[in-house]
A and B are shown apart, each in its own frame.
Chain A
Amino acid sequence: MLSDLLYRLRALFRRNAVDGELDEELRAHFEREAEKLMAQGLSREEAMRQARLAFGGFEHIKDECRQAWGVQWLQTSSQDIRYGLRALRKSPGFTIVAVLTLALGIGATTAIFSVANPVMFRSLPFHDPNRIMTVLETKPAQNLDWLWVTEISFVEWQRRSSVFESLAAYNGCGFRLPDEGEPRFLSGNCVSSTFFPMLGVKPMLGRFWTAEEDVPGNDHVAVLSYRAWKQEFGGDASVINKEDRAFVG
Protein backbone atom coordinates (compact mmCIF):
# COMPACT_ATOMS: atom_id res chain seq x y z
CA MET A 1 0.00 0.00 0.00
CA LEU A 2 1.18 3.44 -0.84
CA SER A 3 0.57 5.03 2.54
CA ASP A 4 2.54 2.24 4.18
CA LEU A 5 5.47 2.86 1.89
CA LEU A 6 5.37 6.62 2.33
CA TYR A 7 5.20 6.22 6.07
CA ARG A 8 8.20 3.93 6.09
CA LEU A 9 10.16 6.26 3.81
CA ARG A 10 9.50 9.14 6.13
CA ALA A 11 10.58 7.06 9.13
CA LEU A 12 13.73 6.19 7.25
CA PHE A 13 14.79 9.51 5.78
CA ARG A 14 13.27 11.95 8.24
CA ARG A 15 14.30 9.83 11.15
CA ASN A 16 15.24 12.71 13.41
CA ALA A 17 11.97 14.51 12.84
CA VAL A 18 9.94 11.38 13.41
CA ASP A 19 11.89 10.53 16.53
CA GLY A 20 11.43 14.04 17.85
CA GLU A 21 7.72 13.86 17.21
CA LEU A 22 7.49 10.61 19.08
CA ASP A 23 9.29 12.07 22.02
CA GLU A 24 7.02 15.11 22.06
CA GLU A 25 3.92 12.96 21.77
CA LEU A 26 4.84 10.75 24.69
CA ARG A 27 5.88 13.67 26.80
CA ALA A 28 2.58 15.42 26.16
CA HIS A 29 0.71 12.31 27.26
CA PHE A 30 2.79 12.01 30.37
CA GLU A 31 2.19 15.64 31.33
CA ARG A 32 -1.51 15.36 30.68
CA GLU A 33 -1.71 12.28 32.87
CA ALA A 34 0.18 14.03 35.65
CA GLU A 35 -2.17 16.99 35.36
CA LYS A 36 -5.14 14.71 35.71
CA LEU A 37 -3.72 13.15 38.86
CA MET A 38 -2.95 16.54 40.33
CA ALA A 39 -6.50 17.62 39.62
CA GLN A 40 -7.58 14.60 41.62
CA GLY A 41 -5.71 16.02 44.57
CA LEU A 42 -2.28 14.44 44.48
CA SER A 43 0.84 16.45 45.02
CA ARG A 44 3.00 17.27 42.08
CA GLU A 45 5.72 14.75 42.96
CA GLU A 46 3.21 12.01 43.64
CA ALA A 47 1.36 12.76 40.43
CA MET A 48 4.59 12.60 38.41
CA ARG A 49 5.55 9.35 40.09
CA GLN A 50 2.24 7.69 39.44
CA ALA A 51 2.15 8.96 35.89
CA ARG A 52 5.60 7.56 35.34
CA LEU A 53 4.50 4.22 36.78
CA ALA A 54 1.41 4.09 34.62
CA PHE A 55 3.49 4.85 31.62
CA GLY A 56 6.07 2.17 32.06
CA GLY A 57 9.49 2.66 30.56
CA PHE A 58 9.78 5.63 28.22
CA GLU A 59 12.57 4.12 26.21
CA HIS A 60 10.79 0.80 26.00
CA ILE A 61 7.70 2.40 24.53
CA LYS A 62 9.79 4.40 22.10
CA ASP A 63 11.46 1.22 20.94
CA GLU A 64 8.12 -0.45 20.42
CA CYS A 65 6.93 2.51 18.38
CA ARG A 66 10.06 2.43 16.28
CA GLN A 67 9.37 -1.23 15.66
CA ALA A 68 5.92 -0.27 14.51
CA TRP A 69 7.45 2.02 11.90
CA GLY A 70 8.70 -1.05 10.09
CA VAL A 71 12.17 0.20 9.29
CA GLN A 72 14.00 -1.05 12.34
CA TRP A 73 15.52 -3.97 10.54
CA LEU A 74 17.11 -1.54 8.12
CA GLN A 75 18.49 0.59 10.92
CA THR A 76 19.89 -2.36 12.80
CA SER A 77 21.39 -3.89 9.66
CA SER A 78 23.09 -0.65 8.70
CA GLN A 79 24.37 -0.31 12.25
CA ASP A 80 25.71 -3.83 12.13
CA ILE A 81 27.37 -3.18 8.79
CA ARG A 82 28.99 -0.04 10.10
CA TYR A 83 30.22 -1.91 13.16
CA GLY A 84 31.62 -4.64 10.92
CA LEU A 85 33.45 -2.09 8.79
CA ARG A 86 34.95 -0.49 11.86
CA ALA A 87 36.17 -3.87 13.06
CA LEU A 88 37.69 -4.57 9.66
CA ARG A 89 39.47 -1.25 9.69
CA LYS A 90 41.03 -2.15 13.02
CA SER A 91 42.71 -5.26 11.63
CA PRO A 92 43.95 -4.26 8.18
CA GLY A 93 46.05 -7.39 7.65
CA PHE A 94 43.07 -9.65 7.95
CA THR A 95 40.99 -7.37 5.79
CA ILE A 96 43.56 -7.30 3.00
CA VAL A 97 43.90 -11.08 3.00
CA ALA A 98 40.13 -11.53 2.97
CA VAL A 99 39.63 -9.02 0.15
CA LEU A 100 42.40 -10.58 -1.95
CA THR A 101 41.01 -14.04 -1.42
CA LEU A 102 37.57 -12.92 -2.49
CA ALA A 103 38.95 -11.06 -5.51
CA LEU A 104 40.99 -14.04 -6.57
CA GLY A 105 38.13 -16.44 -6.16
CA ILE A 106 35.63 -14.28 -8.01
CA GLY A 107 38.09 -13.40 -10.75
CA ALA A 108 39.19 -16.96 -11.35
CA THR A 109 35.66 -18.28 -11.38
CA THR A 110 34.52 -15.59 -13.79
CA ALA A 111 37.44 -16.20 -16.13
CA ILE A 112 36.93 -19.93 -16.18
CA PHE A 113 33.24 -19.57 -16.73
CA SER A 114 33.57 -17.13 -19.57
CA VAL A 115 35.84 -19.59 -21.30
CA ALA A 116 33.76 -22.63 -20.50
CA ASN A 117 30.41 -21.07 -21.28
CA PRO A 118 30.66 -20.89 -25.05
CA VAL A 119 32.73 -24.04 -25.26
CA MET A 120 30.83 -26.36 -22.98
CA PHE A 121 27.46 -24.92 -22.15
CA ARG A 122 26.19 -22.98 -25.08
CA SER A 123 24.88 -25.27 -27.74
CA LEU A 124 26.01 -25.00 -31.32
CA PRO A 125 23.92 -22.73 -33.46
CA PHE A 126 23.04 -25.56 -35.77
CA HIS A 127 20.08 -27.77 -36.31
CA ASP A 128 19.74 -30.37 -33.52
CA PRO A 129 23.01 -29.51 -31.79
CA ASN A 130 22.84 -32.26 -29.20
CA ARG A 131 23.17 -34.88 -31.86
CA ILE A 132 26.23 -33.43 -33.51
CA MET A 133 29.39 -35.20 -32.42
CA THR A 134 33.02 -35.37 -33.29
CA VAL A 135 34.22 -38.83 -34.19
CA LEU A 136 37.91 -39.58 -33.80
CA GLU A 137 40.14 -42.61 -33.90
CA THR A 138 41.88 -44.37 -31.05
CA LYS A 139 44.87 -46.67 -30.93
CA PRO A 140 44.45 -48.60 -27.68
CA ALA A 141 47.59 -50.66 -28.26
CA GLN A 142 49.64 -47.50 -27.93
CA ASN A 143 47.26 -45.87 -25.50
CA LEU A 144 46.38 -43.16 -27.97
CA ASP A 145 43.10 -41.48 -28.57
CA TRP A 146 41.85 -38.26 -30.08
CA LEU A 147 43.58 -39.12 -33.33
CA TRP A 148 42.64 -37.41 -36.52
CA VAL A 149 40.93 -39.61 -39.03
CA THR A 150 42.40 -40.34 -42.46
CA GLU A 151 40.38 -39.87 -45.62
CA ILE A 152 40.35 -43.58 -46.25
CA SER A 153 38.85 -44.29 -42.86
CA PHE A 154 36.24 -41.60 -43.41
CA VAL A 155 35.18 -43.02 -46.75
CA GLU A 156 35.01 -46.51 -45.29
CA TRP A 157 32.91 -45.34 -42.37
CA GLN A 158 30.56 -43.56 -44.66
CA ARG A 159 30.14 -46.61 -46.73
CA ARG A 160 29.82 -49.19 -44.02
CA SER A 161 28.70 -47.66 -40.76
CA SER A 162 25.02 -47.37 -39.92
CA VAL A 163 25.43 -45.85 -36.51
CA PHE A 164 25.28 -42.28 -37.65
CA GLU A 165 22.64 -40.56 -39.65
CA SER A 166 25.25 -38.66 -41.59
CA LEU A 167 29.01 -38.35 -41.54
CA ALA A 168 30.95 -35.32 -42.60
CA ALA A 169 34.64 -34.67 -42.67
CA TYR A 170 36.41 -31.41 -42.15
CA ASN A 171 40.00 -30.32 -42.23
CA GLY A 172 41.85 -27.04 -41.93
CA CYS A 173 42.90 -25.72 -45.34
CA GLY A 174 44.54 -22.70 -46.81
CA PHE A 175 43.29 -21.14 -49.99
CA ARG A 176 45.05 -18.98 -52.48
CA LEU A 177 43.11 -16.51 -54.51
CA PRO A 178 44.91 -16.33 -57.85
CA ASP A 179 42.92 -14.04 -60.02
CA GLU A 180 43.02 -10.76 -58.19
CA GLY A 181 46.53 -9.78 -59.31
CA GLU A 182 48.57 -10.35 -56.20
CA PRO A 183 47.87 -13.68 -54.57
CA ARG A 184 46.07 -13.59 -51.26
CA PHE A 185 45.79 -16.36 -48.70
CA LEU A 186 42.64 -17.23 -46.88
CA SER A 187 42.32 -19.78 -44.12
CA GLY A 188 39.38 -22.10 -44.17
CA ASN A 189 38.31 -25.69 -44.06
CA CYS A 190 38.00 -28.53 -46.50
CA VAL A 191 34.76 -30.31 -45.85
CA SER A 192 32.80 -33.16 -47.37
CA SER A 193 29.57 -32.54 -49.20
CA THR A 194 27.61 -33.83 -46.25
CA PHE A 195 28.92 -31.10 -44.01
CA PHE A 196 26.48 -28.29 -44.66
CA PRO A 197 23.34 -30.40 -44.92
CA MET A 198 24.20 -32.02 -41.60
CA LEU A 199 24.40 -28.69 -39.88
CA GLY A 200 21.16 -27.64 -41.42
CA VAL A 201 22.40 -24.32 -42.76
CA LYS A 202 21.35 -22.79 -46.01
CA PRO A 203 23.49 -20.69 -48.31
CA MET A 204 22.70 -17.02 -48.52
CA LEU A 205 23.50 -16.96 -52.21
CA GLY A 206 24.28 -19.74 -54.57
CA ARG A 207 24.43 -23.32 -53.41
CA PHE A 208 26.53 -25.88 -51.59
CA TRP A 209 28.24 -28.59 -53.53
CA THR A 210 26.94 -32.03 -54.16
CA ALA A 211 28.38 -35.49 -53.69
CA GLU A 212 29.55 -35.56 -57.30
CA GLU A 213 31.70 -32.57 -56.66
CA ASP A 214 33.18 -34.28 -53.65
CA VAL A 215 35.58 -36.20 -55.82
CA PRO A 216 39.10 -35.03 -56.55
CA GLY A 217 39.24 -33.44 -59.95
CA ASN A 218 35.73 -32.19 -59.73
CA ASP A 219 36.19 -30.08 -56.70
CA HIS A 220 36.53 -26.54 -57.94
CA VAL A 221 33.81 -25.50 -55.56
CA ALA A 222 34.12 -23.20 -52.62
CA VAL A 223 31.88 -21.69 -50.06
CA LEU A 224 32.77 -18.23 -48.86
CA SER A 225 31.89 -16.97 -45.44
CA TYR A 226 29.98 -13.72 -45.33
CA ARG A 227 32.94 -11.89 -43.93
CA ALA A 228 35.30 -13.20 -46.59
CA TRP A 229 32.78 -12.30 -49.26
CA LYS A 230 32.57 -8.73 -48.05
CA GLN A 231 36.27 -8.37 -47.53
CA GLU A 232 37.67 -10.03 -50.60
CA PHE A 233 35.02 -9.42 -53.19
CA GLY A 234 33.32 -6.37 -51.77
CA GLY A 235 29.99 -8.13 -51.53
CA ASP A 236 29.78 -8.42 -55.28
CA ALA A 237 26.95 -10.79 -56.04
CA SER A 238 28.15 -11.50 -59.55
CA VAL A 239 31.14 -13.39 -58.21
CA ILE A 240 28.84 -16.23 -57.31
CA ASN A 241 28.38 -18.97 -59.83
CA LYS A 242 31.50 -17.76 -61.54
CA GLU A 243 33.71 -20.81 -61.50
CA ASP A 244 31.30 -22.57 -59.18
CA ARG A 245 31.57 -20.48 -56.13
CA ALA A 246 28.83 -20.63 -53.58
CA PHE A 247 28.35 -18.42 -50.63
CA VAL A 248 26.99 -18.84 -47.20
CA GLY A 249 25.90 -16.12 -44.87
Chain B
Amino acid sequence: MSNDHIDLPQGTLDLLILKTVALGPQHGWAISERIQQISSSVLQVQQGSLYPALHRLERRGWIKARWGASENNRRAKFYELTRTGRKQLESEADAWRKLALAVGQVLDMA
Protein backbone atom coordinates (compact mmCIF):
# COMPACT_ATOMS: atom_id res chain seq x y z
CA MET B 1 0.00 0.00 0.00
CA SER B 2 1.41 3.35 -1.01
CA ASN B 3 2.23 5.72 1.80
CA ASP B 4 1.92 9.04 0.09
CA HIS B 5 -1.79 8.90 -0.60
CA ILE B 6 -4.05 11.86 -0.05
CA ASP B 7 -7.43 11.68 1.55
CA LEU B 8 -10.20 12.62 -0.76
CA PRO B 9 -11.77 15.96 0.09
CA GLN B 10 -15.47 15.93 0.90
CA GLY B 11 -17.72 15.63 -2.07
CA THR B 12 -15.13 14.77 -4.66
CA LEU B 13 -15.78 11.08 -4.33
CA ASP B 14 -19.14 11.54 -6.04
CA LEU B 15 -17.44 13.30 -8.91
CA LEU B 16 -14.83 10.57 -9.33
CA ILE B 17 -17.43 7.83 -9.19
CA LEU B 18 -19.52 9.52 -11.86
CA LYS B 19 -16.52 9.91 -14.09
CA THR B 20 -15.34 6.35 -13.64
CA VAL B 21 -18.78 5.02 -14.42
CA ALA B 22 -19.09 7.27 -17.44
CA LEU B 23 -16.52 5.13 -19.17
CA GLY B 24 -18.70 2.06 -18.82
CA PRO B 25 -20.67 0.06 -16.27
CA GLN B 26 -18.58 -1.05 -13.30
CA HIS B 27 -19.13 -2.69 -9.98
CA GLY B 28 -18.05 -1.13 -6.70
CA TRP B 29 -14.70 -2.84 -6.33
CA ALA B 30 -13.72 -2.10 -9.91
CA ILE B 31 -14.61 1.57 -9.47
CA SER B 32 -12.41 1.80 -6.44
CA GLU B 33 -9.54 0.04 -8.19
CA ARG B 34 -9.87 2.21 -11.25
CA ILE B 35 -9.67 5.44 -9.33
CA GLN B 36 -6.63 4.16 -7.50
CA GLN B 37 -4.90 3.04 -10.69
CA ILE B 38 -5.57 6.16 -12.75
CA SER B 39 -4.38 8.44 -10.00
CA SER B 40 -1.22 6.37 -9.57
CA SER B 41 -2.36 5.35 -6.15
CA VAL B 42 -2.46 8.89 -4.90
CA LEU B 43 -6.19 8.64 -4.40
CA GLN B 44 -7.23 5.80 -2.14
CA VAL B 45 -10.93 5.37 -1.89
CA GLN B 46 -12.03 4.58 1.63
CA GLN B 47 -14.20 1.51 1.34
CA GLY B 48 -16.30 2.87 4.14
CA SER B 49 -17.35 5.84 2.04
CA LEU B 50 -17.51 4.16 -1.36
CA TYR B 51 -20.71 2.19 -0.91
CA PRO B 52 -22.70 4.84 0.91
CA ALA B 53 -21.71 7.19 -1.91
CA LEU B 54 -22.79 4.69 -4.56
CA HIS B 55 -26.14 4.17 -2.89
CA ARG B 56 -26.68 7.87 -2.51
CA LEU B 57 -25.87 8.52 -6.15
CA GLU B 58 -28.22 5.75 -7.16
CA ARG B 59 -31.00 7.26 -5.10
CA ARG B 60 -30.56 10.59 -6.77
CA GLY B 61 -30.87 8.95 -10.14
CA TRP B 62 -27.38 9.80 -11.42
CA ILE B 63 -26.34 6.19 -11.67
CA LYS B 64 -28.44 3.09 -11.99
CA ALA B 65 -27.65 -0.38 -10.80
CA ARG B 66 -27.95 -3.78 -12.44
CA TRP B 67 -26.92 -7.18 -11.20
CA GLY B 68 -24.69 -9.06 -13.54
CA ALA B 69 -21.73 -11.43 -13.81
CA SER B 70 -18.32 -10.04 -12.92
CA GLU B 71 -15.09 -10.95 -14.62
CA ASN B 72 -14.66 -14.07 -12.52
CA ASN B 73 -18.25 -15.12 -13.13
CA ARG B 74 -19.44 -14.07 -9.74
CA ARG B 75 -22.63 -12.05 -9.17
CA ALA B 76 -21.90 -8.34 -8.84
CA LYS B 77 -23.89 -5.13 -8.79
CA PHE B 78 -22.93 -2.98 -11.78
CA TYR B 79 -23.47 0.76 -11.85
CA GLU B 80 -23.80 2.86 -14.98
CA LEU B 81 -24.28 6.54 -15.65
CA THR B 82 -27.74 7.85 -16.43
CA ARG B 83 -28.62 10.76 -18.63
CA THR B 84 -29.13 13.12 -15.69
CA GLY B 85 -25.95 11.70 -14.22
CA ARG B 86 -24.04 12.72 -17.29
CA LYS B 87 -25.31 16.25 -16.98
CA GLN B 88 -24.43 16.29 -13.32
CA LEU B 89 -20.94 15.01 -14.09
CA GLU B 90 -20.34 17.77 -16.60
CA SER B 91 -21.46 20.52 -14.31
CA GLU B 92 -19.54 19.17 -11.33
CA ALA B 93 -16.38 18.60 -13.34
CA ASP B 94 -16.66 22.10 -14.68
CA ALA B 95 -17.02 23.53 -11.20
CA TRP B 96 -14.07 21.48 -9.99
CA ARG B 97 -11.78 22.70 -12.74
CA LYS B 98 -12.72 26.29 -12.08
CA LEU B 99 -12.10 25.78 -8.38
CA ALA B 100 -8.73 24.11 -8.91
CA LEU B 101 -7.66 26.86 -11.24
CA ALA B 102 -8.68 29.60 -8.85
CA VAL B 103 -7.03 27.96 -5.85
CA GLY B 104 -3.90 27.40 -7.90
CA GLN B 105 -3.80 31.04 -8.86
CA VAL B 106 -4.05 32.13 -5.27
CA LEU B 107 -1.35 29.69 -4.22
CA ASP B 108 0.95 30.73 -7.05
CA MET B 109 0.93 34.39 -6.28
CA ALA B 110 4.34 35.55 -5.31
Contacts and interface: CB of A to CB of B under 8 A. Distances in A.
A7 B58 CA distance: 8
Nearest to A21: B77
A31 B28 CA distance: 12
A64 B54 CA distance: 11
B56 interface: yes
What range describes how many residues of A lie at the interface?
A: 20 to 34
A29 B28 contact: yes
Contacts of A36: 33
Interface stretch (B5-13, B16-24, B45-53, B92-100): B45-53
Interface in B35-78: 46-49, 51-53, 55-56, 58-61, 67, 70, 72, 74-77
Interface stretch (A52-60, A79-87, A207-215): A52-60
Q: Is the interface of A mostly helix, strand, loop or mixed?
A: helix
Given A65-B52, A69-B55, A1 B77 contact: no
B47 A68 contact: no
Interface string A1-36: 111100110000000000001101110110111011
Interface in A49-75: 54-57, 60-61, 64-65, 67-70
Contacts of A31: 74
A14 B60 CA distance: 18
Interface of A: 1-4, 7-8, 21-22, 24-26, 28-29, 31-33, 35-36, 54-57, 60-61, 64-65, 67-70
Of all A-B residue pairs in the complex, the 5 with the closest CB atoms, nearest first, are A3-B61, A64-B52, A68-B55, A68-B56, A56-B48
